[in-house]
């Protein structure tokens, strides 16, 4: 689970922070994935 942090982290963020990041980083979607 913590091995592929880039994959698991992205999945959790997209599922949990998907809306939050889209709102906070509405104009900075690249930063959310960076």
What's residue 11's pLDDT?
72
DSSP line for 3-25: TTHHHHHHHHHHHHHHHHHHHHT
What's residue 10's pLDDT?
67
Contact 23, 30 (CB under 8 A): no
Q: How far apart are CA 4 and CA 16, in angstroms?
A: 18
Global pTM exceeds 0.95: no
Which of 13, 15, 11, 16 is closest to 31 using CA atoms? 13
Q: Domain residues of the chain, as ranges?
A: 1-34
pLDDT tens for 1-34 read 555 566 666 677 666 766 776 777 666 556 555 5
């Amino acid at each position: 689970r913590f091995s592929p942090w880039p994959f698991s982290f992205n999945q959790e963020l997209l599922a949990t922070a998907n809306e939050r990041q889209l709102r906070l980083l509405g104009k900075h979607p690249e930063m959310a994935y960076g």
